Structure 1
């Protein structure tokens, strides 16, 4: 099956893509393009899937660079293949031929590009990372490589949407402690539950940081099981594990 790669005009003509689960070698609950080494899928099958992604991006597999994601605000600068996989949730680069890749399964994959400066970035931004500043940290790291944030475009890829993201009152408390105006990202649910708008919050953080342009592709991972993996959907179905989507950008 052919890979399905979602692209966004603000990142063009740079080669990039938010890959769906279509076109992969995994089977069972991982059926499709599971690129998560942290999953319980077969290691050799995940490697096949990642090789397919690298081929689609026009790089060798060692130049498809990722990190050990841990819901932090940590960013690394990438100049080539990594000898060890560091703990971080975002990467930046100004090195041609390097492809930055993040994995998600409801969290926000965010790809960045400053076309004028020749600087790119990729971030994994779940609610904790976004709240702690991973998006702003990525912009800061891009600027350290010569980018200007007014010239940076950012696109949030497939993520869980508000209609599928039910949270409890303690979750709201964390956001209200950071800024009382964050209440606008929550809608009423049943009982004491609320519905959180993660992509809108991500866009707010990017735009408040002074980025040139930011948008969301408007794909909901939870609501489209044929195209996307979803941690929350897998939990609701009592599945043993879940696949990881990959999003990539390269100079």
Structure 2
């Protein structure tokens, strides 16, 4: 079976595999149609199970993905951990499939230039402001200049209207975050998650950053969007190393 997938355009070793699923190719019924991979959104568990089976088969995954209980935090999981809530994952050995689920939040892939270390983060505005990207970088032995990052589909800067508390959370960390906010009406701003992520990565010395620009809200044919639809499914962003 062939699934429609988003493939990162980044310069990493051939042994590193990374994909983002779309909403197309599965068996879920509306409003989760059709390739929902989340168990917590109200979809039929049998449909989700079948979608996950189709995913493993289509990608010839070396293992079941590490499906996380995401809470918009900064905790980072690895294959040795069981239980708990995590919004990012890290691995430094082959055969471990890392995954995050999104439907407007920003998925961010990481890989060292030698392909030995990989990571992925679920970065909504709360996790991004709290430092989830930095938490993943802290797990890498590779120096920042040897780390590549890719920004996946997320709510775009023309669709993400936020209140003053969101802007304040970022400006409290770095005044240059002001460039990522455009005023709309008093107390409200359009926020650019892609730019905010690039700023946070650059501050830690990671400049080899690609991706960004795929808006989940404006592309209902390909992407789920919580902001647009309310009740909806989730896409998966997966990364692993071949054995």
Please tell me whether the aligned partners of residues 90 and 134 of structure 1 are also in contact (alpha carbons under 8 angstroms): yes
CA deviation vs aligned residue, 1:228-250 (integer Å, no higher than 9, x gap): 00110013xxxxx2111101010
Q: Quick one: distance in 2 between partners of 1:247 and 1:171?
A: 25
Residue 102 of structure 2 contacts residue 122 of structure 2 at CA under 8 Å; is this kept in 1?
A: yes
User: Does the aligned pair in 2 maintain the 1:94–1:118 contact within 8 Å?
Assistant: yes
SS of the residue 2:224 aligns to? coil
Mapping 1:127-138, distance limit 5 Å: 127-138=125-136
Q: Give the conservation status (yes or no) of the 8 Å contact 2:65–2:99.
A: yes
Query: Which deviations, in whole Å up to 9, do the C-alpha atoms of 1:93-123 show, x marking residues without a partner?
Result: 0121111010001011111111415111011
CA deviation after TM superposition for structure 1 residue 220, in Å: 0.2
Residue 190 of structure 1 and its aligned partner are, at CA, apart by 3.2
1:166: which partner in 2?
A: 161
TM-score with structure 1 length normalisation? Answer: 0.89
Matched, 1:250 2:240: yes
Corresponding residue for residue 148 of structure 2: 153
Query: How many Å separate the matches in 2 of 1:150 and 1:175?
Result: 24
Write out aligned runs for 1:174-193 (5 A).
174-193=169-188
Does residue 28 (structure 1) correspond to residue 30 (structure 2)? The answer is yes
CA contact (8 A) 1:57 1:99 kept: no
CA distance in 2, matches of 1:57, 1:205: 31
Which residue does 2:3 correspond to in 1?
Answer: 3
* Runs of at least 4 residues off by over 6 Å: none
Q: 1:66, 1:85 within 8 Å by CA — same for their partners in 2?
A: no
2:138 to 136, 140, 143: 140
Aligned 8 A contact 2:24 2:34 in 1: yes
- Asked if the contact 2:8–2:211 (Cα under 8 Å) also holds between the matched residues in 1, the reply is no
Q: How many residues align?
A: 239
Residue 71 (structure 2) aligns with: 70
Gaps of 5+ in 1: 236-240
Query: Which residue matches 2:195?
Result: 200
**Could you tell me how far apart the structure 2 residues matched to 1:25 and 1:115 are?**
37
**Contact 1:4–1:20 under 8 Å retained in 2:** yes
CA distance in 2, matches of 1:110, 1:72: 14
More helix by share: 1
Deviations 1:100-153 (A, max 9, x none): 01000101111111141511101101111111111011011122xxx3321111
- Cα distance change of structure 1 residues 117 and 34 upon mapping to structure 2, 3 Å threshold: closer
Tell me what 1:47 maps to. 49
Q: 1:131 to 1:142 in 2, by over 3 A?
A: same
SS of alignment partner, residue 63 of structure 1 = coil
CA displacement at 1:177 relative to structure 2: 2.3
What's the RMSD between the two structures over aligned residues? 1.8
Relative to the length of structure 2, the TM-score reads: 0.92
Give the secondary structure class of the aligned counterpart of 1:170: helix
Rounded to whole Å, the distance in 2 between the matches of 1:16 and 1:151 is: 18
